[in-house]
Amino acid sequence: QVHLVESGGGSVQAGDSLRLSCAASGRIFSTYAIGWFRQAPGKEREFIACNSWIVSATYVADSVKGRFTISRDNAKNTVSLQMNSLKPEDTAVYYCAAAPATSRLRNRDAEYWGQGTRVTVSS
């Protein structure tokens, strides 16, 4: 079992930055791919980024590439999402997720989900 807890959300102005963190419990953390998704009101959940330490792979969605960066600290069992140059369209609930492989996350087929943290970007 893996428990994921997100933190770091909030309300900011366009152009600001936020750093989200995902704290994971469970011995399998280092072997799992960890990623971030978001869901805006009335929209489907969207893949943002994921990382696999085992295969040294990182994927970032085109919609946020160049502005968002995913990083991982296995020693602390945390995965972070650094979000820069935020836009109003980045407003959403952001979820941390885990799966045995990055391909599953990229297909929105996570095995574990956090409860989400809300990000609101005002113009």
Q: Is 56 helix (H, G, I), strand (E, B) or coil?
A: coil
Share of the chain above pLDDT 70, in %: 99
Asked if residue 91 lies in contact with residue 40, where contact means CB atoms within 8 angstroms, the answer is: yes
Tokens (6 digits) for 70: 């995913």
Asked if residue 77 lies in contact with residue 24, where contact means CB atoms within 8 angstroms, the answer is: yes
Contacts of 81 (CB under 8 A, 6+ apart): 19, 20, 21, 22, 36, 48, 49, 68, 69, 70, 94
**pLDDT level of residue 39 (50, 70, 90 thresholds):** very high
**pLDDT level of residue 56 (50, 70, 90 thresholds):** confident
Name the region of 65 (left: φ>0; alpha: ψ -120 to 50; beta: rest).
Answer: beta
Strands 18-25 and 78-83 turn out to be antiparallel
Tokens (6 digits) for 15: 């152009």
**pLDDT level of residue 74 (50, 70, 90 thresholds):** confident
Phi, psi of 94 (to 5 degrees): -105, 130
DSSP for residue 12: E
